[in-house]
Amino acid sequence: MSCCCEFQGCDKGAKVLGVIFDLDGTLLDTERASRGVLNEFLARYGKELDREKEDKKRLGMTQKDTATIMVTDYELPLTPDQFINEITPMYRERWAKAKALPGANRLIKHFQKNGVPVALASNSLREYIDAKISYHKGWKESFSVILGSDQVKAGKPSPYLFEEAAKKMGVDAINCLVIEDSLVGVKAANAAQMKIVAVPSQREADCNGLANVVLHSLLEFQPELWGLPPFDDWLDDTLPIEPIHLSGLYVTGCLEESTDNATLALPDQAVGLYLGWAKIDTDRKFKILASINLDFSCVAYKRIRVYLVDSNSDLKQKQKMQISLVGYIRTWDNKELSSIAFDKLDEYKSTARASLDLPSFACL
């Protein structure tokens, strides 16, 4: 397993000719969109969610397997099928709110533009896949193959989904690259003998040892390392991105998100160094750098450190702040930005200052 900065490229004898994506947690942030559904459902039966127990469960399981576990763990007076029939409408209502994860739209459009065959292979039922992607313009048309677990004899971690996707694309398994977020998905790709890029949440960190490369975000993905056409959308040292909007309390240089559970607003797969704009009130806007790092000492597992680009900007401590991140500079490198030499921080500020004067990084 390598991180993105260590990986030197794939074996020249096994060029990547097709890419297979997982959906939930890889391209689409369905988990956060549907957070709270299980709480609400269990309350109907006088049960309380066991957060510690749920945090240890694996993402990416089939619906039937998940239902069987839930009925058993919470001693529900239901069969797995009854559980599915009752809870599915509740989830469907939330799918419309599921956002594309950072870098997802960019990657899909890039492959489509360059004629790279792309498939979608998910442990969700095909009906559910179609419903989820229907809210995202152009997604359905971008995939030459879409497969759900009900279209093969067994879902992940069995290899059948990926094998069937490769077959339908007309690409040999050795020439396929799988992009996944979950342990069961990575195991399935391994069983299919395909190359693997993992973009896991913090709960799925133990899939790291099975993947060829582990990224913190799809924004880190470098197609050229896999023999695929490189991106051409960087503006000097900065990448324009779909805006990420956050709000909270600015305290001692950090933004504390204004939500009961800070993981709701920001997915794990958003760490890195960003530039953007901060708003204190209707009249005051500031250019900022924002370092989003994994920090397991925090309840939300993430720390959002905000740096003012202009040193003459004066901010009071403990005040409400809204930020819009509009550009990406680099990956997270296991260090707090504050540990980087001041000259490096000044370099990043200079980059942000120049970029934020360009129309591509305008404040919304």
* pLDDT surpasses 60 at 336: no
Burial of 128 (C-beta count, 10 Å sphere; 0-12/13-18/19+): buried
The residues near 17 (Cβ < 8 Å, ≥ 6 apart) are 117, 171, 172, 175, 176
Q: Which of 24, 29, 181, 268 is catalytic?
A: 24
Among 2.40.30.30, 3.40.50.300, 3.90.1300.10, 1.20.1630.10, name the CATH number for the domain at 238-361.
2.40.30.30
Structure confidence by residue, pLDDT tens digits, 234-259: 999 999 999 999 988 888 888 886 65
Q: What does DSSP say about strands 2-3 and 213-214: parallel, antiparallel, or unpaired?
A: parallel
Q: What is the dihedral of CA 310, 314, 318, 321, to 10 degrees?
A: -50
pTM of the predicted protein model = 0.88
Structure confidence by residue, pLDDT tens digits, 62-87: 788 889 999 998 999 999 999 999 99
- Scan for tokens 């095909």, then name that residue: 126
Q: Which of 11, 22, 233, 333 is catalytic?
A: 22
Token pair recorded at residue 142: 């971008």
Pick from 203, 216, 235: nearest CA to 102: 216
For residue 56, what pLDDT is reported? 54
Task: State residue 22 phi and psi, 5-degree precision.
Answer: -80, 170
* pLDDT surpasses 90 at 311: no
For residue 261, what pLDDT is reported? 42
Token pair recorded at residue 80: 């797995």
Q: Is 29 assigned a catalytic role? A: no
Q: Is 24 assigned a catalytic role? A: yes
In this prediction, residue 364 has a pLDDT band, given cuts at 50, 70 and 90, of: low
Contact 289, 319 (CB under 8 A): no
* pLDDT surpasses 50 at 318: yes
Fold of 18-27+101-226: Rossmann fold (3.40.50)
In this prediction, residue 18 has a pLDDT band, given cuts at 50, 70 and 90, of: very high
- CA separation, residue 142 to residues 20, 131, 133, 191 (Å): 12, 15, 11, 26
- Domain map of the chain by residue range? 18-27+101-226, 31-48+62-96, 238-361
Instruction: Give 257's strand partners.
Output: 248
- Where does the chain show beta strands of DSSP type E? 2-3, 18-21, 118-121, 145-147, 176-180, 195-198, 213-214, 239-251, 254-257, 272-279, 285-294, 302-308, 319-330
Structure confidence by residue, pLDDT tens digits, 137-170: 999 999 999 999 999 999 999 999 999 999 999 9
| Average pLDDT rounded to a whole number, residues 280-306 | 77
Sign of the CA dihedral running 188, 194, 199, 200? positive
For residue 161, what pLDDT is reported? 97
Structure confidence by residue, pLDDT tens digits, 202-228: 766 666 688 999 999 999 999 999 999
